[in-house]
A = this chain, B = another copy of it.
Amino acid sequence: MSLTHLDETGAARMVDVSAKDATVREAKAACHVAMRAETLALVVAGTARKGDVLATARIAGIMAAKRTADLIPLCHPLAISAVAVDLAPDPALPGIRIVATVRTTGPTGVEMEALTAASVAALTIYDMLKAADRSMRIDNLRVIRKSGGKSGDFEQD
């Protein structure tokens, strides 16, 4: 098997998608930020405005989805038609679970956009809480669902 992002000599290239059909495609990516229980309490407790930690991470994730092709060298620029970033505090971790969903009508999938959105939302949470907790970790970033396109649907935990 060979890698599509390298040419026959092994040089990196942006794969040609000009012959691929534009179809509706969706991808979901997930990860979580693990933190101490006291840190999580700072996010979920208190006034409604404490919601700004999660609101800020959500906006950062949505904006990052649109910057994916700027960040990942061989990604194709594409017209994203929807992005949502869900953030759920989970005392069992303890930490915050993140799921990013991206949709497009285009010739390529949007896994990278969903992974980038989840990743930057997680980094934003880290940034806002790092003064309180230096032991946080961002874990288990992966695609959990993908639909549309020739390679078929895909789902994993």
The quantity of this chain's copies bound in the complex is 6
Docked-complex contact A137 and B135, CB < 8 angstroms:
no
Smallest CB-CB separation from A57: which chain B residue? B73
A44 located at the interface, meaning its Cβ lies under 8 Å from any Cβ of chain B in the complex: no
Residues of A contacting B: mostly: mixed
Which B residues lie within 8 Å of A55 (CB)? 11-12, 51-52, 55-56, 59
Pick the contact of A78 from B79, B116, B135 — CB < 8 Å? B79
Quick one: given A50-B6, A59-B56, are A81 and B72 in contact (CB under 8 Å)? no
Which B residues lie within 8 Å of A130 (CB)? 111-112
Q: How far is the CA of A1 from the CA of B38 in the complex (A)?
A: 10
Interface size class of A (residues with CB under 8 A): 35 or more
A82 located at the interface, meaning its Cβ lies under 8 Å from any Cβ of chain B in the complex: yes
Q: What is the interface of chain A, defined by CB distance below 8 A to chain B?
A: 1-7, 9-18, 24, 31, 38, 42, 46-53, 55-56, 58-60, 62-67, 69-86, 103-107, 111-112, 115-116, 119-120, 122-124, 126-132, 134-143, 146, 154, 156
